[in-house]
Amino acid sequence: MILVAGPYRSGTNDDPHLIEANVKAMTDTALELYEMGHLPVLGEWFALPLIEAAGSKHTGDEVFNRIFHPVAIRLIDHCDAVLRIGGSSQGADEMVATGRARGKQIFLNKSEVPAFGTANNI
């Protein structure tokens, strides 16, 4: 399982369209990893529904901040590796640093990730 870590809010000024583009870039990368035979995951897939359920009113509020990065940090323990994509992002850099500190394999470029069979291998 590989955590895809990239910018979420960085450089967006919290513009929802730009945030959506960042999530799409991570999701597209996740699909490519899946097609390479890996099980990719984004912290956003876990955090965003929890943030909504917890009553967050807007990106960056107390509820958002209490859940968003901590979910990804917890998720790293269940991953074999972290793939860092995209531009500047303190959060994504934190995921890499945490993964490295926990002995996870770190990829800084998708081309470094070896194929692991195909998506149809179970």
Q: pLDDT digits over 26-76, tens only?
A: 999 999 999 999 999 999 999 999 999 999 999 999 999 999 999 999 999
| Average pLDDT score over the chain | 95
CA 78 to CA 105: how far, in whole Å? Answer: 12
pTM > 0.85: yes or no: yes
CA 32 to CA 71: how far, in whole Å? Answer: 23
What is the 3 state secondary structure string of 52-100?
HHCCCCCCCCHHHHHHHHHHHHHHHCCCCEEEECCCCCHHHHHHHHHHH
